[in-house]
Amino acid sequence: MMGPFLEFYVDPQRCIGCKACEAACSECDTHRGSSMIHVDFIDPGVSPQTAATVCMHCENPTCASVCPADAIKVDEHGIVHSSLKPRCISCNNCELACPFGVPKISIGLQQMQKCDMCFDRTSIGKKPMCATVCPTGALFYGTPAELAARRPQGHAINLWRFGVQEIRTRVRVIVPAGVEVLEIDVAEVIEPGGAALPPAASESAREFL
Protein backbone atom coordinates (compact mmCIF):
# COMPACT_ATOMS: atom_id res chain seq x y z
CA MET A 1 0.00 0.00 0.00
CA MET A 2 1.46 3.32 -1.07
CA GLY A 3 0.91 6.77 0.32
CA PRO A 4 -1.04 7.73 3.37
CA PHE A 5 -4.01 5.46 2.65
CA LEU A 6 -5.07 3.06 5.39
CA GLU A 7 -7.59 0.26 5.59
CA PHE A 8 -11.35 0.76 5.74
CA TYR A 9 -13.49 -1.59 7.81
CA VAL A 10 -17.27 -1.96 8.04
CA ASP A 11 -18.64 -3.57 11.21
CA PRO A 12 -22.41 -3.82 10.63
CA GLN A 13 -22.98 -5.29 14.08
CA ARG A 14 -22.19 -1.88 15.60
CA CYS A 15 -24.45 0.14 13.34
CA ILE A 16 -27.24 1.98 15.18
CA GLY A 17 -28.85 3.42 12.06
CA CYS A 18 -28.16 7.03 13.02
CA LYS A 19 -27.04 7.99 9.52
CA ALA A 20 -24.34 10.34 10.75
CA CYS A 21 -22.27 8.83 7.93
CA GLU A 22 -24.86 9.83 5.33
CA ALA A 23 -25.13 13.29 6.85
CA ALA A 24 -21.37 13.79 6.85
CA CYS A 25 -20.90 12.33 3.38
CA SER A 26 -23.19 14.97 1.91
CA GLU A 27 -20.90 17.65 3.39
CA CYS A 28 -17.94 16.44 1.30
CA ASP A 29 -16.45 19.20 -0.82
CA THR A 30 -16.47 17.08 -3.99
CA HIS A 31 -20.18 16.17 -4.02
CA ARG A 32 -21.75 18.76 -1.76
CA GLY A 33 -25.37 18.12 -0.89
CA SER A 34 -25.54 14.47 -1.88
CA SER A 35 -24.52 11.40 0.03
CA MET A 36 -22.67 8.45 -1.47
CA ILE A 37 -23.55 6.21 1.47
CA HIS A 38 -26.76 4.41 2.18
CA VAL A 39 -27.98 2.93 5.43
CA ASP A 40 -30.56 0.16 5.30
CA PHE A 41 -32.63 -1.90 7.67
CA ILE A 42 -31.57 -5.52 7.24
CA ASP A 43 -34.93 -6.99 8.19
CA PRO A 44 -37.45 -4.13 8.41
CA GLY A 45 -40.21 -4.56 10.94
CA VAL A 46 -38.46 -7.54 12.51
CA SER A 47 -35.19 -6.12 13.81
CA PRO A 48 -33.76 -2.64 14.33
CA GLN A 49 -30.53 -3.92 12.74
CA THR A 50 -29.16 -1.53 10.16
CA ALA A 51 -26.02 -1.47 8.05
CA ALA A 52 -24.18 1.26 6.20
CA THR A 53 -22.94 0.60 2.69
CA VAL A 54 -19.92 2.48 1.39
CA CYS A 55 -18.18 1.62 -1.86
CA MET A 56 -16.31 -1.62 -1.22
CA HIS A 57 -13.61 -0.68 -3.76
CA CYS A 58 -13.42 -4.09 -5.49
CA GLU A 59 -10.12 -5.35 -6.79
CA ASN A 60 -11.80 -6.12 -10.08
CA PRO A 61 -14.80 -3.80 -9.99
CA THR A 62 -17.97 -4.99 -11.65
CA CYS A 63 -18.94 -1.40 -12.37
CA ALA A 64 -15.77 -0.91 -14.40
CA SER A 65 -16.01 -4.22 -16.22
CA VAL A 66 -19.55 -3.50 -17.45
CA CYS A 67 -18.77 0.09 -18.44
CA PRO A 68 -18.99 0.34 -22.25
CA ALA A 69 -17.15 3.67 -22.25
CA ASP A 70 -14.18 2.56 -20.14
CA ALA A 71 -14.96 5.47 -17.84
CA ILE A 72 -14.43 3.85 -14.42
CA LYS A 73 -10.89 3.54 -13.14
CA VAL A 74 -9.13 2.00 -10.15
CA ASP A 75 -6.13 4.01 -8.99
CA GLU A 76 -2.82 2.69 -7.68
CA HIS A 77 -4.18 2.81 -4.12
CA GLY A 78 -7.02 0.44 -5.00
CA ILE A 79 -9.65 3.19 -4.89
CA VAL A 80 -12.40 3.03 -7.48
CA HIS A 81 -13.38 6.53 -8.61
CA SER A 82 -16.47 8.18 -10.02
CA SER A 83 -16.74 7.87 -13.80
CA LEU A 84 -14.49 10.04 -15.93
CA LYS A 85 -16.75 12.84 -17.00
CA PRO A 86 -15.55 13.12 -20.64
CA ARG A 87 -16.10 9.40 -21.22
CA CYS A 88 -19.23 8.68 -19.19
CA ILE A 89 -22.39 8.18 -21.26
CA SER A 90 -24.69 7.81 -18.19
CA CYS A 91 -25.86 4.45 -19.49
CA ASN A 92 -26.66 3.08 -16.02
CA ASN A 93 -24.79 -0.19 -16.57
CA CYS A 94 -22.67 0.39 -13.46
CA GLU A 95 -25.74 1.15 -11.33
CA LEU A 96 -27.40 -2.05 -12.43
CA ALA A 97 -24.36 -4.28 -12.18
CA CYS A 98 -22.78 -3.33 -8.86
CA PRO A 99 -23.61 -6.08 -6.38
CA PHE A 100 -23.48 -3.58 -3.50
CA GLY A 101 -25.77 -0.96 -5.09
CA VAL A 102 -23.20 1.82 -4.80
CA PRO A 103 -22.79 3.80 -8.09
CA LYS A 104 -25.44 6.38 -8.82
CA ILE A 105 -25.95 8.28 -12.03
CA SER A 106 -26.30 11.99 -11.42
CA ILE A 107 -28.80 13.12 -14.02
CA GLY A 108 -27.76 16.75 -13.63
CA LEU A 109 -24.07 16.04 -14.10
CA GLN A 110 -24.53 13.24 -16.65
CA GLN A 111 -21.97 11.27 -14.70
CA MET A 112 -21.76 8.32 -12.33
CA GLN A 113 -20.85 9.44 -8.82
CA LYS A 114 -19.73 7.18 -6.05
CA CYS A 115 -17.76 7.00 -2.84
CA ASP A 116 -14.06 7.56 -3.52
CA MET A 117 -13.10 6.96 0.12
CA CYS A 118 -12.95 10.73 0.59
CA PHE A 119 -9.95 11.00 -1.71
CA ASP A 120 -9.60 14.71 -0.88
CA ARG A 121 -9.18 13.83 2.80
CA THR A 122 -7.47 10.43 2.71
CA SER A 123 -4.86 11.58 0.19
CA ILE A 124 -3.60 14.11 2.72
CA GLY A 125 -3.59 11.71 5.63
CA LYS A 126 -7.04 12.41 7.09
CA LYS A 127 -9.73 9.84 7.72
CA PRO A 128 -12.79 9.67 5.46
CA MET A 129 -15.62 11.86 6.73
CA CYS A 130 -17.98 8.93 7.46
CA ALA A 131 -15.41 6.97 9.44
CA THR A 132 -14.44 10.12 11.35
CA VAL A 133 -17.94 10.89 12.57
CA CYS A 134 -19.36 7.35 12.93
CA PRO A 135 -20.26 7.31 16.63
CA THR A 136 -20.00 3.55 17.09
CA GLY A 137 -17.02 2.52 15.00
CA ALA A 138 -19.28 0.66 12.54
CA LEU A 139 -17.17 2.46 9.95
CA PHE A 140 -13.50 2.38 10.91
CA TYR A 141 -10.42 3.66 9.11
CA GLY A 142 -7.00 2.65 10.35
CA THR A 143 -4.31 0.02 10.23
CA PRO A 144 -4.82 -3.72 10.76
CA ALA A 145 -2.68 -3.41 13.90
CA GLU A 146 -4.95 -0.70 15.31
CA LEU A 147 -7.98 -2.83 14.61
CA ALA A 148 -6.42 -5.87 16.25
CA ALA A 149 -5.48 -3.86 19.32
CA ARG A 150 -8.88 -2.21 19.70
CA ARG A 151 -11.09 -5.11 18.69
CA PRO A 152 -9.38 -8.34 19.62
CA GLN A 153 -12.49 -10.26 18.65
CA GLY A 154 -12.81 -8.54 15.29
CA HIS A 155 -12.37 -10.82 12.30
CA ALA A 156 -12.06 -8.93 9.02
CA ILE A 157 -12.57 -10.52 5.62
CA ASN A 158 -12.86 -9.20 2.08
CA LEU A 159 -14.09 -12.14 0.01
CA TRP A 160 -17.66 -12.24 -1.30
CA ARG A 161 -19.50 -14.73 -3.45
CA PHE A 162 -22.63 -13.55 -5.24
CA GLY A 163 -23.93 -16.72 -6.86
CA VAL A 164 -21.01 -17.75 -9.07
CA GLN A 165 -19.29 -14.34 -9.04
CA GLU A 166 -16.40 -14.06 -6.60
CA ILE A 167 -15.37 -10.58 -5.51
CA ARG A 168 -12.45 -9.40 -3.43
CA THR A 169 -12.76 -5.91 -2.00
CA ARG A 170 -10.36 -3.32 -0.63
CA VAL A 171 -12.83 -2.50 2.15
CA ARG A 172 -13.10 -5.23 4.75
CA VAL A 173 -16.09 -6.40 6.74
CA ILE A 174 -16.00 -7.56 10.35
CA VAL A 175 -17.69 -10.96 10.67
CA PRO A 176 -17.92 -13.68 13.31
CA ALA A 177 -14.85 -15.86 13.73
CA GLY A 178 -14.85 -18.78 11.34
CA VAL A 179 -16.49 -16.95 8.46
CA GLU A 180 -14.03 -16.55 5.59
CA VAL A 181 -16.33 -15.73 2.71
CA LEU A 182 -19.68 -13.96 2.57
CA GLU A 183 -21.89 -16.00 0.29
CA ILE A 184 -25.06 -14.49 -1.03
CA ASP A 185 -27.42 -16.69 -2.97
CA VAL A 186 -28.69 -14.18 -5.48
CA ALA A 187 -31.58 -16.39 -6.63
CA GLU A 188 -32.89 -16.63 -3.06
CA VAL A 189 -32.74 -12.88 -2.51
CA ILE A 190 -34.63 -11.95 -5.65
CA GLU A 191 -37.35 -14.57 -5.17
CA PRO A 192 -40.63 -12.94 -4.13
CA GLY A 193 -42.09 -13.77 -0.73
CA GLY A 194 -41.34 -12.59 2.79
CA ALA A 195 -41.85 -8.88 2.37
CA ALA A 196 -45.48 -9.01 1.21
CA LEU A 197 -48.05 -7.12 3.25
CA PRO A 198 -50.66 -9.15 5.08
CA PRO A 199 -54.11 -8.90 3.51
CA ALA A 200 -55.77 -5.60 4.33
CA ALA A 201 -57.71 -6.17 7.50
CA SER A 202 -59.44 -2.86 7.50
CA GLU A 203 -61.09 -0.73 4.91
CA SER A 204 -59.04 2.31 5.82
CA ALA A 205 -55.80 0.39 5.40
CA ARG A 206 -53.64 2.17 2.92
CA GLU A 207 -50.06 3.05 2.40
CA PHE A 208 -49.05 6.26 4.01
CA LEU A 209 -46.96 8.86 2.21
> Which positions lie near other proteins, rule CB under 8 A?
13-20, 22-24, 26-27, 29, 32-33, 45-50, 127, 129, 132-137, 150-154, 197-198, 200-209
Considering the complex, state which of residue 192 and residue 208 has its C-beta at the smaller distance from other proteins.
Answer: 208
Nearer to other proteins, 179 or 205 (CB): 205
Taking the least distance from each CB to other proteins, the nearer of 33 and 68 is 33
Contacts with 71 (C-beta within 8 Å, 6 or more apart), sequence order: 83, 84, 87, 88, 89, 112
* Encoded amino acid at 96, one letter: L
Least separation, in Å, of the C-beta of 41 and other proteins? 10
Nearer to other proteins, 187 or 200 (CB): 200
Determine contact, residues 22/37, Cβ cutoff 8 Å.
yes
For residues 167 and 99, is the Cβ–Cβ distance under 8 A? Answer: yes
Which residue from 180, 157, 182, 181 is spatially nearest to 170, judged by alpha carbons?
Answer: 157
72 neighbors 81 (Cβ within 8 angstroms): yes
Name the nearest CA neighbour of 80 among 127, 129, 113: 113
CB of 106 to other proteins, least distance (A): 13
Pick between residue 110 and residue 165 the one whose CB is nearest to other proteins.
110
Rounded to the nearest whole angstrom, what is the least distance from the CB of residue 40 to other proteins in the complex?
13
We find the least distance from the C-beta atom of residue 131 to other proteins, in angstroms, to be 9
CB of 167 to other proteins, least distance (A): 28
Distance CA 85, CA 96 (A): 19
Of the candidates 77, 82, 173, 64, which has an alpha carbon nearest to the alpha carbon of residue 125?
Answer: 77
Query: Which helix or strand (DSSP H or E) is residue 112 part of?
Result: strand 111-113
